[in-house]
Chain A
Amino acid sequence: MSFAEPHFLWLLLGLAPLAWWLATGERPRSRRAPALDFWPRELPARPTQQRRRLPLHAWLALLAVSAAIAALAAPALVREQPLPLRIWLDRSASMSARSAGGATRLAEAKERLARELDAEPRETSCELWLWPAAELGARGTATELVRALERIEETRLAGAEEGPTLGELGAERLWWVGDREPEELPRAAAFFAVGAPLQRNAGWVSASFSAERELWLVAAGAGVERRELEVRVEPGDRTLSAFALEPGERRALRLEVDPAWRALRLVSASGADEIALDDVVALQLDLRPISAVARALPPALQRAFEADERLDFGAGTSIELLIDGAARPASEDPSCALRFGAGRGEARVESLRWEDAESDALWQRLAPAPWPLRELDRGTPLARATPSGRLAIALEEGELHCALDALELAQSASARAELPLLCALLVDAVRPRLRAPEVERTRGAPLDLGETSAALRGSSRSETSDGRFEREQRPLGRWLVLAAAVAWLAACFVRARSARSISAYRRRRAAG
């Protein structure tokens, strides 16, 4: 039993003196007499004087008032059950890296996940989602999920297409198991890190093969060792370039290729390293321009783009994001494919390529506020801006404000690239709030009848403080109101009957 507005219960103290006043009254003390006939008969005891305790209608009235007060306190029956658990397991290319012990990061992740699931209540409902493909790997109890982990293997692909976003997870419990914590992971989510930092690795993190026969590549090194990288192209096994890559260095290459090539396969001959998947990249000619960002963007950011109907900045132009060093085209068009992964590296906005597009479409999307923004932040500005400060988006007092420099936007590819990032950040911040209840609970606010009326309407669900259980509250207020009404009517009825009996007695006495 819980009370949403327990301070109303203090009103019950006010009933105590009322009950005392009713109980004492002016009635004489009762005494037993062995023979009543010896005592002179002055007056027969009236109904209100027949007992030392309260008359029935007073009891009923007190009961009605007490029930009404209890209803104001919004009592509810509380039942707790484990919250459903959603687990994201990173099985992207970087999870294929092997540790000193020989086990891959994914194996470590599965082992860690199995340990954590063992500590969960048996009846917990779990979902296992696989990142980055956003596939539902398994669904069931914690025990069933442990058995399902054996089937999970690494993937070469990292780009996410479908499935829920992190922002859509709401109040669910969320675990993320991987080698890197997503930046936009909800605060309540748990991150289980696996894998040691890379010692030696180098590979492709981004690539583009345009219609102008221009091959654009980005290579990145990781770990602590300097790596020699040799770019060979298949077929023909020709060496296009060779260079050394320092740990943490990213290098962009622009190479001319044979115009006759429609597809090519590049191999980086850097020797054995910790991630083999980023050593080979296969490209096909894409008639469409592709922009890629090799940046450690949070998964939610990329999801924001896609969930927001894929911001389209021009005819046939779509934004492709490389997450964790790999990406898939947004469409399933086989003419455009990036089918490889790459290691982690520092992001640079300069690595963006941007095809000219009409800025009007962008402006039209941003200038008017398309989202219902009420109840957001309550006056606290939510703002995002580019490092240059030329682009800014802010939410203030429920309205969206955009500051765009049209010249900057037209001339600067980086500015154009940053703008959708800003949009994505904003969308990501706005979306979960849009899905929050329109009326926030105001627990603890003094004398808030809104809580009481909400409690009267129906059951509600909330989380426990540790976030592991869902607390279901079944309000009792409506039944208490009903009980109060019935008790009050009964009190009125009993009192009316008593009054009639007294009146009848007095009439009989008057009649002699």
Chain B
Amino acid sequence: MSAQNLVRFPPDFVDRVLALPWGALPRRGAGGTGERAGRHGAGLEFEEHRAYRPGDDLARVDWQVFARTKKPFLKVQRIQEAQRELVLVDLSASMDFGAEPKVDRALRIAAALALALAARGASAEIIPLGAEEALGPVRLERLAGARELLATLERWRATADEDELHRARLRLLERRSLARAPRAWILSDLYALAGWAQFSEQLSARALHPRLLRILDPEERSPSLTEPVEWIDAETGERWIASDPEVALAGYAQRFAAHAERLRQLAERHRLPLRELSEPAQDLAELVRFERSRSAR
């Protein structure tokens, strides 16, 4: 299997992903990896009501419907075919940065997770945070849909601003299917920490502890600045002049480190797994190590 005419995904992307040692990923009907253990009704999905026929199990009668209609109806449920994990990809404009844009890397990671889950009979739903209305979520149930998945992700662009991202997070928290997801992944640079902190708290309150994959460009960790520069904010378009490179770099390092520390404290407070990916060539390998380490723990 290969993905041709794609820029974000190399031709052997699927083969490379499937060859990785994803030992800890969930399999069909596994019911989660522990964080969801004990969750009542896991693996069943309501499908429809039908009229009672003699011989049916009375335990499946929906008594609430009977109380309203005085007619016996059975609640038809089907077994959830695969564990569906949520992969939330930040499509704010700040992700469109770097020699290799961070959004490309995030979408490769998301696709890799989806492929690995599909190979194990599970499934993944990739949600474009900030552009759901335009792009919509994409699901991968079986490996046969890999090509279509990659073609869809190839078209995604990171153009949302902070407000759109905020509204996207609120809408996601209102989704009913969120309660049935065993795990969630957040792929973002995790700037504007206040919004992400609130979002993480909301997810934790729903017993869905997200895994935070912070994607950074090397230039963000250690920017190079040798001359005055006019900075243009990728999301807001705001402009500022940095006339003294040394002063600017010193201030940047201090603020960046403070932000990273606050992010670390947030993850600890909510017991959220956090991994920073700042080497584009090592993204997939780092993802596998992160997953295996979490499983081992």
Spell out A's residues near B (CB within 8 Å): 27-45, 49-50
A43 in contact with B234 given A29-B227, A29-B229 (CB within 8 Å): no
Chain B residue with Cβ nearest A28: B228
Q: A41 to chain B: closest CB distance in Å?
A: 5
Contacts A/B (CB < 8 Å), 9 sampled: A28-B229, A28-B243, A29-B230, A34-B234, A36-B232, A36-B233, A39-B252, A50-B230, A50-B239
* Interface bits B107-129 vs A (CB < 8 Å: 1, else 0): 00000000000000000000000
Whether A33 contacts B232 by the Cβ 8 Å rule is yes
A49 to B231, alpha carbons, bound, how many Å? 11
A29 to B231, alpha carbons, bound, how many Å? 9
Set of chain B residues within 8 Å of A43, measured between Cβ atoms: 240-241, 243
Whether B229 contacts A41 by the Cβ 8 Å rule is no
Interface residues of B in 222-253 (CB under 8 A from A): 227-234, 236, 238-244, 247-248, 251-252
A42 in contact with B189 given A33-B233, A34-B220, A50-B239 (CB within 8 Å): no
Set of chain A residues within 8 Å of B244, measured between Cβ atoms: 42
Q: A363 to chain B: closest CB distance in Å?
A: 91
A149 to B233, alpha carbons, bound, how many Å? 84
Q: B215 to chain A: closest CB distance in Å?
A: 11
Set of chain A residues within 8 Å of B236, measured between Cβ atoms: 36
Whether B259 contacts A42 by the Cβ 8 Å rule is no
Set of chain A residues within 8 Å of B94, measured between Cβ atoms: 34-35
* Interface check B156, CB cutoff 8 A: no
* Interface check B191, CB cutoff 8 A: yes
Q: B157 to chain A: closest CB distance in Å?
A: 15
Whether A45 contacts B234 by the Cβ 8 Å rule is no
A45 in contact with B229 given A34-B94, A37-B255, A39-B251 (CB within 8 Å): no
Whether B230 contacts A38 by the Cβ 8 Å rule is no
A32 in contact with B232 given A37-B255, A40-B252, A42-B242 (CB within 8 Å): yes
Whether A28 contacts B233 by the Cβ 8 Å rule is no
A30 to B232, alpha carbons, bound, how many Å? 7
* Interface check B63, CB cutoff 8 A: no
Set of chain B residues within 8 Å of A36, measured between Cβ atoms: 231-233, 236, 238, 240
A29 to B259, alpha carbons, bound, how many Å? 27
* Interface check B256, CB cutoff 8 A: yes
Set of chain A residues within 8 Å of B255, measured between Cβ atoms: 37-40
Set of chain B residues within 8 Å of A28, measured between Cβ atoms: 227-230, 241-243
In the complex, the 5 A-B pairs of residues with the closest C-beta atoms, listed nearest first: A40-B251, A36-B233, A34-B94, A28-B228, A45-B239
Set of chain A residues within 8 Å of B229, measured between Cβ atoms: 28-31
Set of chain A residues within 8 Å of B220, measured between Cβ atoms: 34-35
Set of chain A residues within 8 Å of B233, measured between Cβ atoms: 32-33, 35-36
Set of chain B residues within 8 Å of A44, measured between Cβ atoms: 239-241
Set of chain A residues within 8 Å of B52, measured between Cβ atoms: none
Set of chain B residues within 8 Å of A29, measured between Cβ atoms: 227-230
A31 is contacted by which of B192, B232, B238 (Cβ under 8 Å)?
A: B232
A34 to B240, alpha carbons, bound, how many Å? 13
**Most-contacted residue by chain B among A28, A29, A35, A45 (CB, 10 A):** A35
A42 to B250, alpha carbons, bound, how many Å? 13
Whether B248 contacts A40 by the Cβ 8 Å rule is yes
A473 to B176, alpha carbons, bound, how many Å? 76
Chain A residue with Cβ nearest B251: A40
Set of chain B residues within 8 Å of A45, measured between Cβ atoms: 230, 239-241
Q: A33-B233, A36-B238 are in contact. List 8 more A-B contacts (CB 8 A).
A: A28-B241, A29-B229, A30-B231, A31-B231, A36-B232, A36-B240, A44-B241, A49-B230
A81 to B94, alpha carbons, bound, how many Å? 63
Q: A339 to chain B: closest CB distance in Å?
A: 99
Set of chain B residues within 8 Å of A34, measured between Cβ atoms: 94-95, 97, 102, 189, 191, 217, 220, 234
Q: A431 to chain B: closest CB distance in Å?
A: 74
A43 to B231, alpha carbons, bound, how many Å? 11
Chain A residue with Cβ nearest B219: A34
A42 in contact with B240 given A32-B97, A34-B191 (CB within 8 Å): yes
A29 to B234, alpha carbons, bound, how many Å? 15
Set of chain B residues within 8 Å of A35, measured between Cβ atoms: 94, 189, 191-192, 220, 233
Set of chain A residues within 8 Å of B243, measured between Cβ atoms: 28, 42-43
Q: B262 to chain A: closest CB distance in Å?
A: 12
**Most-contacted residue by chain B among A28, A31, A32, A34 (CB, 10 A):** A34
* Interface bits B131-156 vs A (CB < 8 Å: 1, else 0): 00000000000000000000000000
A460 to B232, alpha carbons, bound, how many Å? 55
Q: A256 to chain B: closest CB distance in Å?
A: 117
Chain B residue with Cβ nearest A36: B233
Chain A residue with Cβ nearest B228: A28
A141 to B242, alpha carbons, bound, how many Å? 77
A482 to B227, alpha carbons, bound, how many Å? 44
Whether B242 contacts A39 by the Cβ 8 Å rule is yes
Q: B11 to chain A: closest CB distance in Å?
A: 29
Whether B252 contacts A42 by the Cβ 8 Å rule is no
A27 is contacted by which of B95, B230, B238, B251 (Cβ under 8 Å)?
A: B230
Set of chain B residues within 8 Å of A32, measured between Cβ atoms: 97, 231-234
Set of chain B residues within 8 Å of A41, measured between Cβ atoms: 240
A27 to B241, alpha carbons, bound, how many Å? 9
Q: B105 to chain A: closest CB distance in Å?
A: 13
Interface residues of B in 61-87 (CB under 8 A from A): none
Whether B231 contacts A33 by the Cβ 8 Å rule is yes
A44 to B236, alpha carbons, bound, how many Å? 14
Q: A175 to chain B: closest CB distance in Å?
A: 71
Set of chain B residues within 8 Å of A39, measured between Cβ atoms: 231, 240, 242, 248, 251-252, 255
Set of chain A residues within 8 Å of B192, measured between Cβ atoms: 35
Q: B225 to chain A: closest CB distance in Å?
A: 9
A44 to B217, alpha carbons, bound, how many Å? 26
